A and B are shown apart, each in its own frame.
Chain A
Amino acid sequence: MWLEILERDHKLPARMFQRVAATVFGEEMDDVAKTAMHRPEFFGQPFLALVREALRAPSFWTVGEREYMAAVTSRVNACDFCALVHTETARITACGEVDVDTGAGRPELSAVLALLERVSRDDVAAEDIARVRAAGVPEDAIADALAVNLVFNIVNRLANAFGWSWDSDDHLQAGARGLRRFGYKLPGLVLR
């Protein structure tokens, strides 16, 4: 990372947690978690609360579909760091509802992905919402997809500005497995 404070300036519980996690999982914690644990009251704590709601709370969309929305938004925003890990997370959380290599999924997903691309490009209009409604997507499902898109419109910019990166393919795959297993949860102690 290009800011030393995000790499190293964490409180003692967060530093200890990083050491334990690196020992247990054999890889360093990812740059998102390190950034979230730096002054967590300013960004990490409220951000991760929104992330957990958007990507893991009960929804019309499966976890795999929402991870795929994350990957697609990240590609639109030219964020390789996020696109890579959320493509892999979608691959290992989806149960056939989306093909992450082709983008094939139910018509409702295809419709909302087109909407999210327009939103990320700051080019959305009422007609775009109408098309998604016409595809049979309920109102709360549109809102849930927009929340996923919001999360990644934020975090993609941070990844690109702070120089977030994966050390290796093993690091990337460990990151994807962590997102499947822990669902964006960090111990409360490291976010205080």
Chain B
Amino acid sequence: MTRSDPHAGLVDALRTAVLGSAGVTTPEARAAAAGGGAPSDALAPFLAKVRDPSSGMTERDIVELRDGGHTEEEIFELTVAAALGAALQRYERAVASMGGEG
């Protein structure tokens, strides 16, 4: 069966804002974070932890990124992108399981 997602409009607006807005990171960097990767090797372990909600993050994870030269705005943008990407992956899989387009 085919169906349309009644929440698609607001979901798409959120995706567009997070992944497409002007920011300190490039849309390509945010797309990488949202897609399960990272824009650099240094950010990969942190973003993997963001995606895994049971990973037990601590303030130390943020401090290490700051010490490595990453700004707070950069961390903010990439964290939001990674969280959104992980959530959308689950949502789209569920909507597809309903027989819709996702």
Contact = CB atoms under 8 A, between A and B. Distances in A.
- Give the dominant DSSP class at B's interface: helix
Nearest to B61: A161
B88 A150 contact: yes
- Give the dominant DSSP class at A's interface: helix
A54 interface: yes
Nearest to A139: B3
A145 to B, nearest CB: 9
B65 to A, nearest CB: 10
Top 10 A-B residue pairs of the complex, sorted by shortest distance between their CB atoms: A153-B87, A157-B83, A77-B53, A46-B14, A154-B87, A50-B10, A150-B91, A78-B54, A147-B7, A2-B62
Given A46-B18, A147-B11, A160-B50, 14 more contacts: A2-B63, A39-B76, A50-B13, A79-B53, A119-B93, A128-B97, A147-B7, A149-B90, A149-B94, A156-B53, A157-B86, A158-B79, A161-B49, A161-B57
Interface of A: 2-6, 38-39, 41-43, 45-47, 49-50, 53-54, 77-79, 115, 119-120, 122, 124-126, 128-129, 139-140, 142-144, 146-147, 149-150, 153-158, 160-163
